[in-house]
Structure 1
Amino acid sequence: MNKIALVTGASSGIGEATATRLSEAGFKVYGSSRRGAHGPKKGYEMLSLDVTSDASVQAAVAAVVAQEGRIDLLVNNAGFGVAPAAAEESSLEQAQAVFDTNFFGVVRMTRAVLPHMRTRGEGRILHIGSVLGFLPMPYGALYAASKHAIEGYSESLDHELRDWGIRSIVIEPAYTKTPFDANLLQADAKLNAYDKVRNAVTLRVQQAMAGAEGPDVVAATVLLAAQASKPKLRYTAGSLAKRLRLLRSFAPAGLVDAGLRKDLSLA
């Protein structure tokens, strides 16, 4: 029987590429977005789902289970980015909004599918994290913090769930060229004191994005993790992500620190 996959944030970018790749590999895929089935027709069914709403999450998961009897794979992809800005330039309300989607959305989805997976004694949950889950990002503190939170949550969760036949895994992309990056959340409390450096970091990020790999690289990594007989706790997605993971793991801390500041024109 085809395995059943639910992919959040599947209307474009990494989510769309992932849902398409899984479908081509034989999964029956349900994608989701806040708009649901509105927009261009996909090669998989689209559901309306807002990961910041308990009721919406429960309804979408219940609909898939009612239709298919199970969910074998959950891909937590829904989230949004924040345009380069100092941590001081976002209000507490904005920080809470970032976490409500990027982290608590993951928690809501995971909690909703776990009872069904535990009953069946199998399942796999993949979280789309980021290299910023293990690296700092000056002028990207809130986004980096949300991805650090996913790293800790997933690894702890994985240890809890292995005895039930369920695995929790993080996928770690670096810069990825998607429409996601054209709609970044702007800081809501900008300060003139940060203008010069914020603008320099923004320019550097734009230059990096111009040469970034596409979402298919991430989708291929998701498929690898979904099908692995002995999955790892985390998978880097793409050549840059792999290099950064190696640097973070083996290079002296001072060297990583200096290189990061130089790359972002902070040195």
Structure 2
Amino acid sequence: MKLKKSIALVTGASSGIGKATAERLAAAGYTVYGTSRRGVQAGQLPFSMLPLDVTRDESVDAVVKDLLRLEGRIDLLVNNAGFGVAPAGAEESSITQAQAIFDTNFMGIVRMTRAVVPHMRRQGGGRIINIGSVLGFLPMPYGALYAATKHAVAGYSESLDHELRTRGIRVSVVEPAYTKTQFDANFLEPDAKLEEYDQIRASLEVTLKNVMTAADPPEVVADAVLTAATAAQPKPRYTAGKLAGRLRMLRRFAPAAVLDSGIRKDLRLDARSVP
């Protein structure tokens, strides 16, 4: 993609991966607009901020309309907005909470895509990059709902890329592993906690905190987004960081039983007592 006067829209850009991505794209020459549900002021940031709630159709339509009014086109959409639930058993989230995480993490991408694609078709091209996770191709015990949303994002992205490729629009998903952001600090607590899971919830929180000390900075993900955005022949899926790359190789080539055992060993699941 030619970057001169290319317009990028990055959702969830007030912090973490979204902020790092917006800054990286701006440094590369894009005119970048970030979004935040709280409408954070850009201040000294090298990009503008717009208010957006990806769970509301009218908010999505309004931000796309505003950006088209300001710039006349959208060349790159980066769907990053999302949230997770603190480590918990799948049954510890109510149906309402399960619907909420899908509404943001998956349906938010669907809303943004439906709003932007007609304009990309008319202008003859564009790129859509969805921030997924290694949990889009691996299971996450005690993170089943989040993993399910990322599996959905991966499947949607690859299918959409086939649909839109002949129209000059390419779709990729970027899949990082553990990343040092405030994401885990903003986890929602499960809203239907069960006493049976108290011990393992507490133990997993300690395990994940230890793992996060060696996590990649968000700039690693931002670099992968820029690679996907500017590639002459973009790939449907990109991993971000060495760990994510190793996990992708293991998923492709390791026997299922070996991978299964490795996941349980890393999370110390078989060492934990069960009431």
Q: What TM-score do the two structures reach when normalised by structure 2?
A: 0.95
Q: Give the Cα separation in 2 of the matches to 1:29 and 1:149.
A: 27
Deviation at 1:38, TM superposition (A): 3.3
Q: Which runs of 5+ in 2 are unaligned?
A: 271-275
- Counterpart pick for 1:102 among 80, 101, 105: 105
Who is 1:180 aligned against?
183
* Paired position in structure 2 for 1:245: 248
Q: 2:70: which partner in 1?
A: 67
Question: 1:87-138 CA distances to partner (integer Å, 9 max, x unpaired)?
Answer: 0100000000000000000000000000000001100000000000000000
Pair 1:11-2:18 in alignment:
no
Task: Output the amino acid matched with 1:7.
Answer: V
1:162 paired residue number: 165
Secondary structure of the corresponding residue to residue 83 of structure 1: coil
Answering whether residue 193 of structure 2 is matched by residue 205 of structure 1, we say no
Instruction: Give the letter aligned to residue 170 of structure 2.
Output: R
Cα displacement (A) at 1:39 = 6.9
Q: Which amino acid aligns with 2:34?
A: G
Asked if 2 retains the 8 angstrom alpha-carbon contact of 1:7 and 1:31, the reply is yes
Equivalence for 2:150: 147
The structural deviation recorded for 1:40 is 4.7
Provide the aligned C-alpha RMSD in A.
Answer: 0.9
Q: TM-score, normalised to structure 1's length?
A: 0.98
* 1:29-48 matches, cutoff 5 A: 29-38=32-41, 40-48=43-51
Equivalent pair of 2:42/2:49 in contact (CA under 8 Å): no
The question of 1:263 aligning with 2:266 is answered: yes
Separation in structure 1 between the aligned mates of residue 57 and residue 207 of structure 2, nearest angstrom: 38
Alpha-carbon deviations, 1:58-87, whole Å to 9, x = none?
000011111111000000000012110000
3-state SS of 1:235 partner: strand
What is the CA–CA distance in structure 2 between the aligned matches of 1:121 and 1:113, rounded to whole Å? 12
How many positions carry a matched residue from both structures? 267
Q: Secondary structure at the match of 1:61?
A: helix
Partner AA of 2:104 in structure 1: T
- Equivalent positions of 1:45-60 (< 5 A) are 45-60=48-63
The one-letter amino acid of 1:50's match is D
Question: Equivalences for 1:92-131 in 2 at 5 Å?
Answer: 92-131=95-134
